[in-house]
Amino acid sequence: MAVCVAVIGKDNSPLYIGGIGNDSGSDNELSRQWLVHTALDALEERLTTTGNGAAGANANAARTDMRDLYLGLLYSTDTHKIYGYVTNTRIKLVLVTHSTSPSGSNIRDAEVRAALRRLHALYADAVCNPFHLPGDPINSQKFDKQVKNLMLNNV
C-alpha cells in the first residue's frame, strides 16, 4: 500500500507530494517529505551509476535512451520502502510504501513498477495542460485525485 507519491523536478525541487494516511504521528506530511527527500541522494547516485554501466562509448547513448526508467528500491527504513523512477526528462517519481503490507505479504517489485508507470502516464497527462509551466509545482486537482486513487487501489 503506497503511503506517499512524490514528483520531483530535475532541479530536485518538489513538484508534487501526495500522501494518504492520518496526519498524526510519524505518518504526517513532514515525515513523508523527509523520507522522499533523503531518497533523492540514492536516486541521483543511481542515475549517475546506471549511466556509467554502459561499456562502450557509442553504446552509451543508446543505453541511456533505452535504460529502464524504473530504478527499483532506493532504500528502506524500518517502516518504509522507497522506490524510484526517472523519466527521460529527469523528472523523478518516488513512491513510498510500508515495508510490510497489512496483509503480511511482501509487495512485489512488478506491482511497484506498474504503479510508477501509471504515475508517469498521469504526470504526462498533467503537464500536457497548456497552462502548466514545466518546472512549476503541479496543483491540478484531477492529478491529485488520480494519484490518490492509484495509491489506494493498485499497490
Q: Would you count residue 23 as binding other proteins (CB under 8 A)?
A: no
Task: Answer yes or no whether residue 79 interacts with other proteins by CB under 8 A.
Answer: no
Residue with Cβ nearer other proteins (41 or 111):
41
Binding mask 55-74 for other proteins (x = CB under 8 A): --x--xx--x----------
Is 38 a binding residue for other proteins by CB under 8 A? The answer is yes
Q: Which stretch binds other proteins (CB under 8 A): 18-26, 54-62, 111-119, 142-150?
A: 54-62
Choice between 41 and 109, CB closer to other proteins: 41
User: CA separation (Å) from 88 to 43, 73, 92, 129, 145?
Assistant: 14, 19, 9, 19, 25
Contact yes or no for 85/69 (Cβ under 8 A): yes
Asked if residue 6 lies in contact with residue 94, where contact means CB atoms within 8 angstroms, the answer is yes
Instruction: Please give the grid coordinates belonging to residue 117.
Output: 508507470
| 41 near other proteins, rule: CB under 8 A | yes
Residue 86 has phi, psi (to 5 degrees) of -130, 130
Q: Is 148 exposed, middle or buried (0-12, 13-18, 19+ CB in 10 A)?
A: middle
Q: Applying CB under 8 A, which residues contact other proteins?
A: 10-14, 17, 29-30, 33-34, 37-38, 40-42, 44-49, 51-54, 57, 60-61, 64, 75-78, 89-90
